[in-house]
């Protein structure tokens, strides 16, 4: 399919999700049924090469699809975005043989990928045992793990101290996936905790090293961080655009003109029009910056192992700028839509609050002030921020 076809498919799924998004948000159930909607549309294998049985699309398309899905349901936009990034861990860190093996299997099984990488949690340990290894430990924030078909996790080898990324089947009884994600936003992102109790890991299911020692991680491998940061950008923007669309529909159909406005319809109120104009300009500006950053990431991915540290640094600062802009715009848009919908729009049945709750919850993932510092340090001093995993 072409990019246009993928976006049309995602838009149809998003429209379906939007119909009952408020109700599902209140129910706060693990999103098994929502994953099936993604699977049925073919979106889970979008990034798998066509020769391995997948959709053969590129990252520019994946980011656009994430944004569309997030407009319908921010939680599912996050779930899909993390899935794309996690499914690409073999390409960032692994050898060609493991990439082909896992991508062929992923296409055949239509896998949803989840992950356990939270770098602020205690390490999960990987201990040599027989011909393979044993995985033990706990991660408190593991997006998608509760509903995933396969997991990738960060772990530390007890014999060498080396941090690595491993692949595993969560159906093993030693994998305990808790249904304990009960935050006020992104409620259906399946981001609860996961425990590993003597889970066997085959030697060839160690995808690769995460060591930051000189020469271990290539600039291409460290592209994983701006790639996931740009996932955030696109689902923040998607949530903001979804909020604007929902508010506009409500304003056109339900909002009454203010008694002092002198107009017959809320859609003719000059203050309402000015506010929508301001919010639309903000969303359009961020969309251009987000698309610019997507082009930058795609160029880096296309460079592969030829990517230089300088090129990687320029990509990272471009993504950081988009992260700052999307965070500020999405928080502003999702809060201010109530100014143009009116007091009756605060009824819980409409669920307009979920847009702000979703953005506010995930934008605390890492402080945006540190992204501003990265951009400012680059602008003033020409520096590039050091590599850190996923933040």
Residue 120, domain CATH: 2.40.110.10
Residue 179 CB: number of other CB atoms within 10 A? 12
Average pLDDT for 14-40: 97
- On average, the pLDDT of the chain sits at 95
Residue where one domain finishes, among candidates 156, 183, 209: 209
Considering the domain architecture, whether residues 90 and 119 belong to the same structural domain is answered as: no
Considering the domain architecture, whether residues 204 and 288 belong to the same structural domain is answered as: no
Number of domains in the chain: 3
Residue 106, domain CATH: 1.10.540.10
Considering the domain architecture, whether residues 48 and 63 belong to the same structural domain is answered as: yes
Q: What does the pLDDT look like over 353-364, one tens digit per residue?
A: 999 999 999 999
Is 303 within the bounds of a domain?
yes
Residue 374, domain CATH: 1.20.140.10
Residue where one domain finishes, among candidates 112, 145, 168: 112
Residue 80 confidence (pLDDT) above 80: yes
Is 388 within the bounds of a domain?
no
Considering the domain architecture, whether residues 165 and 19 belong to the same structural domain is answered as: no
Considering the domain architecture, whether residues 189 and 179 belong to the same structural domain is answered as: yes
Structure tokens at 317: 């600062």
Average pLDDT for 27-39: 97
The CA distance from 139 to 120, in Å, is 9
Considering the domain architecture, whether residues 252 and 332 belong to the same structural domain is answered as: yes
Considering the domain architecture, whether residues 356 and 339 belong to the same structural domain is answered as: yes
| The model's pTM | 0.96
> What is the helix, strand, coil percentage profile of the chain, to 5?
55, 10, 30
Give the confidence band of 214 by pLDDT, cuts at 50, 70, 90: low
Q: By the 8 A CB rule, do 188 and 25 touch?
A: yes
Whole-angstrom CA distances from 335 to 186, 244, 272, 287, 360 are: 16, 10, 15, 19, 10
Give the confidence band of 391 by pLDDT, cuts at 50, 70, 90: very low
Weakest-pLDDT range from 242-246, 257-261, 294-298, 338-342: 257-261
The CA distance from 60 to 291, in Å, is 8
Average pLDDT for 193-197: 96
Q: Is 186 left (phi over 0), alpha (psi -120 to 50) or beta?
A: left
Handedness of CA 79, 84, 85, 90 (dihedral sign): positive
Is 201 within the bounds of a domain?
yes
Considering the domain architecture, whether residues 297 and 332 belong to the same structural domain is answered as: yes
Give the confidence band of 212 by pLDDT, cuts at 50, 70, 90: confident
The CA distance from 338 to 354, in Å, is 12
Average pLDDT for 302-310: 96
Nearest partner of 47 among 88, 9, 97, judged by Cα: 88
The CA distance from 166 to 89, in Å, is 9
Is 16 within the bounds of a domain?
yes
Considering the domain architecture, whether residues 202 and 255 belong to the same structural domain is answered as: no
Residue 3 confidence (pLDDT) above 80: yes
Residue 122 confidence (pLDDT) above 80: no
Domain that holds residue 14: 3-112
Structure tokens at 380: 């003033």
Considering the domain architecture, whether residues 87 and 131 belong to the same structural domain is answered as: no
Average pLDDT for 103-119: 93
Residue where one domain finishes, among candidates 209, 229, 252: 209
Q: What does the pLDDT look like over 141-192, one tens digit per residue?
A: 899 999 999 999 999 999 999 999 999 999 999 999 999 999 999 999 999 9
Residue 79 confidence (pLDDT) above 90: yes
pLDDT at 385: 86
Is 185 within the bounds of a domain?
yes
The CA distance from 384 to 306, in Å, is 19
Q: Name the pairing type of β-strands 194-201 and 206-209.
A: unpaired
Give the confidence band of 380 by pLDDT, cuts at 50, 70, 90: very high
Q: What are phi and psi of 54, to 5 degrees?
A: -105, -165
Is 390 within the bounds of a domain?
no
Considering the domain architecture, whether residues 225 and 374 belong to the same structural domain is answered as: yes
Is 216 within the bounds of a domain?
no
- SS3 assignment, position 382: coil
Residue 335 confidence (pLDDT) above 70: yes
Is 389 within the bounds of a domain?
no
The CA distance from 141 to 357, in Å, is 18
Residue 390 confidence (pLDDT) above 60: no
The CA distance from 268 to 372, in Å, is 38
Considering the domain architecture, whether residues 135 and 268 belong to the same structural domain is answered as: no
- SS3 assignment, position 119: coil
């Amino acid at each position: 399919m072409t990019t246009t076809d993928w976006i049309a498919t995602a838009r149809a799924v998003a429209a379906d999700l939007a119909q009952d998004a408020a109700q599902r948000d209140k129910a706060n159930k693990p999103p098994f049924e929502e994953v099936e909607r993604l699977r049925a549309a073919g979106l889970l294998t979008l990034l798998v090469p066509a020769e391995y049985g997948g959709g053969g699309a590129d990252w520019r398309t994946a980011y656009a699809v994430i944004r569309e899905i997030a407009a319908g349901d921010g939680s599912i936009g996050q779930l899909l975005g993390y899935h794309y990034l996690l499914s690409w861990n073999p390409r960032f860190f692994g050898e060609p043989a493991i990439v082909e093996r896992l991508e062929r299997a992923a296409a055949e099984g239509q896998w949803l990928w989840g992950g356990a990488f939270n770098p602020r949690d205690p390490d999960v340990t990987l201990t040599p045992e027989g011909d393979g290894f044993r995985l033990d430990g706990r991660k408190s924030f593991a997006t998608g793990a509760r509903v995933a078909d396969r997991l990738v996790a960060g772990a530390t080898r007890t014999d060498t101290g080396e941090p690595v990324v491993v692949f595993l089947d969560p159906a093993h009884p030693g994998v305990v996936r808790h249904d304990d994600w009960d935050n006020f936003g992104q409620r259906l992102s399946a981001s609860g905790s996961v425990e590993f109790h003597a889970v066997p890991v085959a030697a060839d299911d160690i995808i690769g090293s995460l060591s930051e020692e000189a020469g271990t991680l290539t600039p291409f491998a460290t592209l994983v961080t701006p790639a996931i940061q740009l996932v955030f950008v696109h689902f923040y923007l998607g949530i903001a655009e979804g909020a604007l669309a929902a508010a506009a529909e409500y304003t056109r159909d339900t909002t009454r003109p203010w008694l002092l406005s002198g107009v017959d319809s809320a859609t003719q109120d000059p203050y309402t029009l000015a506010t929508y104009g301001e919010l639309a300009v903000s969303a359009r500006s961020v969309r251009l910056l987000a698309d610019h950053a997507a082009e930058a990431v795609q160029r880096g991915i296309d460079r592969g192992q030829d990517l230089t540290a300088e090129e990687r640094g320029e990509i990272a600062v471009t993504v950081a700028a988009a992260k700052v802009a999307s965070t500020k715009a999405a928080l502003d848009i999702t809060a201010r839509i109530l100014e143009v919908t009116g007091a009756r729009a605060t009824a819980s049945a409409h669920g307009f609050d979920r847009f702000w709750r979703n953005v506010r919850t995930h934008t605390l993932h890492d402080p945006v002030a540190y992204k501003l510092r990265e951009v400012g340090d680059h602008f003033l001093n020409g520096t590039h921020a050091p590599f850190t995993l996923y933040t």
